[in-house]
Amino acid sequence: MSADVSDLSLVRRVQRGDKGAFDALVLKYQHKVVKLVMRYVRNPAEAEDIAQEAFIKAYRALPQFRGDSAFYTWLYRIAINTAKNAVVSRDRSPIDFDLDLQNPDESYDMQGRLADKETPEALTLTDEIRSTVNAAIEALPEDLRMAIVLREIEGLSYEEIAESMGCPVGTVRSRIFRAREAIDRRLREVFEGGLGRAEELG
């Protein structure tokens, strides 16, 4: 299986004018990009702002993306450059969010939005999701747990997992899917109406 095929399918759709396909790319890589940016910026809220800027830059640059490299490699490069520029820019202006006298409303909104993102509720929700997922993984049968861990933590391909578990690739695909479904059920039970609320409100 050639890598990056699914990303490339989505990228080609975006290049032909399908914005919905770009949503799928953002959803897939948002956590990874934020985590990457947090190597440069420790504040999660600031990291998300930089990630947002990186995604927008990537969208605007997509017509030039030829697919010579994997999409995520290309995206990560944009994110790193955006983070570096943000750090340089921040260092030049010591007061991050000074009141803009020309546009006080917008300046106030910016400060309020950033402050809101760092609420204890948001951090608590993240902890709850993490503990629920970990508990769901622990409750999985051994073969499903092994498959999802090798995939998500070790980053192995289905073929590599099949080799290490001594089973066909089709079985690996089925095990990973069943593991995800089991975890997803737990998540939806715990956060009925909660998970996804931020997306809806956003």
By CB under 8 A, the residues from 19 to 38 that bind other proteins are 19-24, 26-32, 34-35, 38
How much helix, strand and coil, in percent to the nearest 5, is found in the chain? 75, 0, 25
Q: How far is the CB of 4 from other proteins (least distance, A)?
A: 6
Tell whether residue 83 is a contact of other proteins (CB under 8 A): no
d(CA 14, CA 24): 10
Cβ at position 68, least distance to other proteins in Å: 8
Residue from 107, 63, 55, 62 nearest 82 by CA: 55
Q: Which residues between 113 and 142 bind other proteins (CB under 8 A)? A: 117, 122-123, 125-126, 129-130, 132-134, 137
Q: Answer yes or no whether residue 3 interacts with other proteins by CB under 8 A.
A: yes
Binding of other proteins by 4 (CB under 8 A) = yes
Nearest to 10 by CA among 21, 23, 19, 26: 21
Element (DSSP H or E) covering residue 110:
helix 104-117
From 40, 110, 146, 157, residue interacting with other proteins (rule: CB under 8 A): 157
153 sits near other proteins (criterion: CB under 8 A): yes
- The site for other proteins, by CB under 8 A, has a size of 88
Q: How far is the CB of 101 from other proteins (least distance, A)?
A: 25
> Buried (b) or exposed (e) across 44-56, using 16+ Cβ within 10 A?
bebbbbbbbbbbe
How far, in whole angstroms, is CA 132 from its chain's centroid? 18
Q: Could you tell me which stretch among 12-20, 74-82, 88-96, 97-105 binds other proteins (CB under 8 A)?
A: 12-20
Interacting residue with other proteins among 110, 165, 174, 190 (CB under 8 A)? 174
Could you tell me the smallest distance in angstroms from the CB atom of residue 81 to other proteins? 17
**Alpha-carbon span 17 to 53, nearest angstrom:** 20
| Residue 198 interacting with other proteins (CB under 8 A) | yes
From CA 155, how far away is CA 120, in angstroms rounded? 31
Stretch that binds other proteins, among 77-85, 89-97, 98-106, 177-185 (CB under 8 A): 177-185
Choice between 1 and 95, CB closer to other proteins: 1
Residue 164 touching other proteins (CB under 8 A): no
